[in-house]
């Protein structure tokens, strides 16, 4: 019998709020249980372990990028970046979840569909999507780290990454894909 008063959705939404307010290091099951006014063991009714909870959060973060058919690689990469930036430590949550083989493959699938839509075979679409996914995750992780250091005053006089840097990197990857097609 499920605990009364809180659904899996309540738990995930509260976890996202803690993530956004305090960051991934402070998203503990104990803190989550306190926020929901339950014992930590009650959380395991909905999520068997913290990794399963993080996979759910990852799916919710990445789920923000969906909209229509995936036909343009740059648009999909920007949508993924926006989804990751919408939550503090979003890139770290998604990256760690994917590294553990958990969570949905939505981001990779959308990126692969966009590469395939540009006329590439399935293997190139898969590999190209993996490359772009790793690029986006790494770029955003770096952005989020800088934002946190800047907000804490840890980097004196430092500026963030240039807005054009992300697009420049995507252009390099796309140019590499196009060059492979000509070979």
Q: What is the pLDDT of residues 25-38, one digit of tens each?
A: 999 999 999 999 99
Per-residue confidence in pLDDT tens, the chain, 183 aa: 444 578 999 999 999 999 999 999 999 999 999 999 999 999 999 999 999 999 999 999 999 997 788 999 999 999 999 999 999 999 999 999 999 999 999 999 999 999 999 999 999 999 999 999 999 999 999 999 988 877 777 766 555 556 689 999 999 999 999 998 875
Please tell me the predicted confidence (pLDDT) of residue 2. Answer: 47
| CATH number for the segment(s) 55-182 | 1.10.357.10
- Residue located via tokens 């949508």: 79
Residue with tokens 């075979």: 121
Cα dihedral across residues 65, 69, 74, 75: positive or negative: negative
Distance between CA atoms of residues 42 and 111, nearest Å: 37
> pTM, whole model, 2 decimals?
0.89
CATH 1.10.357.10: which residues of the chain? 55-182
Give pLDDT, residue 1: 41
3-state secondary structure the chain: CCCCCCCHHHHHHHHHHHHHHHCHHHCCHHHHHHHHCCCHHHHCCCCCCHHHHHHHHHHHHHHHHCCCCCCCHHHHHHHHHHHHHCCCCHHHHHHHHHHCCCCCCHHHHHHHHHHHHCCCCHHHHHHHHHHHHHHHHHHHHHHHHHHHHHHCCCCCCCCCCCHHHHHHHHHHHHHHHHHHHHC
Length of the chain equals 183
Q: For the segment 133-150, what is each residue's pLDDT rounded down to a tens digit?
A: 999 999 999 999 988 877
pLDDT (0 to 100) of residue 162: 60
List of residues 6+ apart from 171 with CB closer than 8 A: none
Cβ partners under 8 Å of residue 28, min gap 6? none
Domain 1-48 architecture: Orthogonal Bundle (1.10)
Residue limits of CATH 1.10.10 in the chain = 1-48
């Amino acid at each position: 019998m499920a605990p009364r008063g809180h659904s899996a959705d309540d738990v995930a939404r509260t976890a996202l709020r803690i993530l956004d307010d305090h960051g991934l290091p402070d998203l503990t099951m104990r803190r989550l249980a306190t926020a929901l006014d339950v014992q930590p063991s009650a959380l395991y009714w909905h999520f068997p372990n913290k990794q399963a909870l993080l996979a759910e959060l990852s799916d919710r973060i990445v789920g923000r990028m969906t909209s229509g058919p995936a036909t343009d690689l740059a648009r999909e990469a920007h949508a993924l970046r926006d989804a990751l930036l919408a939550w503090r430590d979003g890139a770290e949550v998604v990256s760690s979840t994917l590294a553990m083989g958990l969570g949905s493959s939505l981001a990779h699938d959308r990126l692969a569909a966009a590469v395939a839509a540009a006329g590439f075979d399935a293997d190139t679409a898969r590999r190209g999507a993996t490359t772009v996914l790793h690029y986006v995750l790494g770029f955003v992780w770096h952005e989020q780290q800088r934002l946190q250091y800047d907000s804490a005053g840890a980097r004196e006089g430092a500026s963030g990454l240039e807005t054009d840097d992300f697009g420049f990197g995507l252009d390099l990857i796309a140019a590499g894909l196009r060059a492979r097609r000509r070979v």
